[in-house]
Amino acid sequence: MYILLMGPPGAGKGTQAVRLIEKYGIPQISTGDMFRAAVKECTPLGLEAKKYMDAGQLVPDSVTIGIVRERLVKDDCKKGFILDGFPRTTAQAVSLDAILKELNITLNAVLNLNVPSDELVRRISERAALENRDDDKPETVQKRLAVYEESTKPLIDYYRNSGLYVEIDGLQDVDTVFADIVTALEQ
């Protein structure tokens, strides 16, 4: 099962990814985890990424895409994966398509958890109080949502045209969202 999981910060991607991992026995692939692993393994791309990360800068697409490719060829991805946090832009989506074609992998679905902005702010505020996450502070939340709107939301149009795109109502309770995801995957 090859899944691309999309949605704004606070939509419930992490919660649903855990359930998908349990159900399908496939890894969740997140760019943050990949960067840390590539740095730890001292791969050439990992060392390149580390320069940007240490300077507090965004890792350029060329490095990010290379690290994604390195991760997707690992043995644990042979029977599937859940992509979470990549791609973030249409340019990255085009690069991902090329990688998947090269690896002879076809996505089963592109799932977008749709949640209105006011609900996202409420959820993230609650999460911030419970988990004390730096990226959930009010000023950071507004910036993250603005970045999502500007650069990631165009991916919806990109994938809507692919025939793989399924929008999931993220306002429903967690179990109903998961049931909708499984239904979308197993159609």
Residues with catalytic annotation? Answer: 13, 88, 127, 133, 144
Place of tokens 């990949």: 34
Q: Which residues on neighbouring strands pair with residue 28, listed in sequence order?
A: 82
Give the C-alpha distances (Å, rounded to integers) separating 147 from 120, 135, 141, 153, 175: 14, 13, 10, 9, 29
Residue 151: how many other CB atoms lie within 10 Å: 15
Query: CA 74, CA 31: separation in Å to the nearest integer?
Result: 15
- What count of residues does the chain have? 187
